[in-house]
Amino acid sequence: MADANEEKKLVIQVKDGEDIVYKYDDMNDGQQVLFMKAELLNKELQELKNQSEYKMEQLQILSNHYAITLQNSLQKEYQFENGEKYETKDESATKTQ
């Protein structure tokens, strides 16, 4: 994060690769208002991006958990022996066709 004592400035990159630097203190009142609005919006956009990425991580973890739980449940229900499927309900194995 920028230091409170650091001078605010707007850096615009132009086509030839050079940067044009505008100092906040050199801007008129209207330009300073626009600068502050743009700065607030950029912070909000970054925060929203971070929150979205965090939520996506949470959903991916939950999705993986459900997939693993389902897989484990299915593996307990069916047991494969010599290529044949057997149900393992109620501790007794019955051959299925």
If you average pLDDT over every residue of the chain, what do you get? 83
pLDDT at 1: 45
- Contact of 66 with 73, CB cutoff 8 Å: no
- Contact of 27 with 7, CB cutoff 8 Å: no
List, for residues 19-65, the tens digit of each pLDDT value: 999 999 999 999 999 999 999 999 999 999 999 999 999 999 999 99
Percent of residues, the chain, with pLDDT higher than 70: 72
Q: HSE of 77 in the Cβ direction (CA atoms, 13 Å)? A: 6
pTM over 0.85: no
Does the structure show a pLDDT above 80 at 94? no
pLDDT at 4: 61
List, for residues 65-87, the tens digit of each pLDDT value: 999 999 888 877 666 655 566 66
60/13: higher pLDDT:
60
